[in-house]
Amino acid sequence: VTSHAQLAGWEPRYAARAERMRASEIRELLKLLEQPGIISFAGGIPDPALFPVAEARAAYAAVLADAAMAGGGLQYSVSEGYLPLRQWIVRHMGDLGVACEEDNIVVTSGSQQALDFLGRLLLSPGDTALVTAPTYLGALQAFSAYEPRYDELRPEDGNRTPQSYAQAAAAAAARVKFAYVVPSYANPTGETLSLAARERLLDLAAELDIPVVEDAAYAALRFEGDALPPIMALEVARRGGIDNARSIYCGTFSKVLSPGLRVGWIVAPQAMIRRLVLVKQASDLNNSTINQMVMHRLAETAYDAQVDRARAHYRCRRDAMLAALKTHMPEGVTWTRPGGGLFVWLCLPDGMDGASLLDRAVKEAGVAFVPGAAFFHDDRGRNTLRLSYSLATEAEIAEGIARLAKLLT
């Protein structure tokens, strides 16, 4: 008779890569935050009040009302993605300064799947991925499954020399494989890379002979100033065409239209897309066909209006948060002033700890945020935190920041 104890021991059965897949303590803690009365600056998700519900209802109804469309929508489809949707993306990328064709695009299940696929295609165990510190936690989770080592990019205030990155990788018996950045209104800092920093990053990538992986998740959520060109547009201009370039662009509809439909995309040279299509095929065959059809209709009918609504909506909340921080935060606390996106990044005086502050903030002040350490590939950032203004009303933002500041005064 096999006892329950013998059946239990899963740990030794997992692959080596599973070693690096750990539930973050923070995510566990954040699950407790759904209690009423908590003002949460923790989740970075879009405000559901903005979702194009009527348009989505009409789009699903239209697809299902037409026998041929319904048959297609409920069927498997090509791994590259629904052609009319890719054609919309081609026009959209053209507007951003990236001239490309349908064969330069593969549709993914959100840009999160794009990051997983790029890790799968580019990283052998021990290879180096260059990332900023902090960077998007989901990118670290996606890449870490492929067992890379990380090295730090500092695109704004001075990268190291190409030789220094290459030597550090060689010392670990591997190569630098790509540089990953969120250049506009980053998660978690809200910061944007200047044009000069984008160009310098391309210089570094050219010298190291690696692609820049550009994550444009928040680029459309611009509150002020002129749009900066995507890094990919700069490289395409340098090399005279996308198929001579090495950049890889990850786009998504999640922050503008809906994250629930799970539609993102990768733009890359055709040779790279052909390999990514094989990865997509092996992974899940295709994105939900009907969701791609619906997303295509939403993009055609509602994208521009949704961008305008989202910008106005989140700009007011950003303003409320910056005003409250200025009014209430004591000396020694500093924060970023995002020109778009969903996040403010806050630095506490040295020696203070974001995780212990969260514990007190939840219990004593009814306020939540994400401690910043999770966004670092190494063990820095204990005195930092990420505040999202996406879900709290302006009144809640004012109240929540005042309560948080009281704990620090």
Ligand X SMILES: Cc1ncc(COP(=O)(O)O)c(C=O)c1O
Any contact of residue 185 with ligand X (CB under 6 A)? no
Token code pair at residue 351: 């020696």
Nearest to 315 by CA among 304, 307, 305: 307
Any contact of residue 182 with ligand X (CB under 6 A)? yes
Contacts with ligand X in 136-165 (CB under 6 A)? Answer: 136, 138
Pick 166 or 306: Cβ nearer ligand X: 306
Q: Is the peptide bond before 371 cis (omega within 30 degrees of 0)?
A: no
Among 77, 79, 104, 112, binds ligand X (CB under 6 A): 112
CB of 112 to ligand X, least distance (A): 3
Return the range that interacts with ligand X (CB under 6 A); candidates 95-103, 108-116, 203-211, 385-393. Answer: 108-116
Token code pair at residue 258: 């809906």
Pick 148 or 264: Cβ nearer ligand X: 264
CA distance 156 to 203: 13
CB of 4 to ligand X, least distance (A): 38
Return the range that interacts with ligand X (CB under 6 A); candidates 104-112, 272-280, 331-339, 357-365. Answer: 104-112
Among 116, 215, 235, 396, binds ligand X (CB under 6 A): 215
CB of 203 to ligand X, least distance (A): 24
Pick 159 or 390: Cβ nearer ligand X: 390
Residues forming a β-bridge with 387: 344
The identity of residue 287, as a single letter, is N
Pick 44 or 229: Cβ nearer ligand X: 44
Nearest to 244 by CA among 216, 272, 264: 272
Pick 21 or 61: Cβ nearer ligand X: 21
CB of 212 to ligand X, least distance (A): 15
If you ran DSSP here, which 8-state letter would residue 40 be given?
A: E
Angle at 304 between CA 341 and CA 103, to 5 degrees: 90
Pick 182 or 202: Cβ nearer ligand X: 182
Question: Residue 295 in contact with residue 253, Cβ under 8 Å?
Answer: yes
Any contact of residue 80 with ligand X (CB under 6 A)? no
Query: Mapped to the 3 state alphabet, what secondary structure does 298-360 carry?
Result: HHHHHHHHHHHHHHHHHHHHHHHHHHHHHHHCCCCCEECCCCECCEEEEECCCCCCHHHHHHH
Which residue matches tokens 């521009």? 304
Return the range that interacts with ligand X (CB under 6 A); candidates 7-15, 74-82, 105-113, 364-372. Answer: 105-113
CA distance 360 to 404: 9
Closest residue to ligand X, based on beta-carbon distance: 110
Pattern 239-278, ligand X, x by CB under 6 A: -------------x-x----x----x--------------
CB of 137 to ligand X, least distance (A): 8
Pick 129 or 182: Cβ nearer ligand X: 182
Query: HSE of 332 in the Cβ direction (CA atoms, 13 Å)?
Result: 10
Nearest to 60 by CA among 81, 74, 49: 74
Nearest to 215 by CA among 275, 157, 264, 271: 264
Any contact of residue 111 with ligand X (CB under 6 A)? yes
Any contact of residue 336 with ligand X (CB under 6 A)? no
Interacting residues with ligand X (CB under 6 A): 44, 110-112, 136, 138, 182, 187, 215, 217, 252, 254, 259, 264
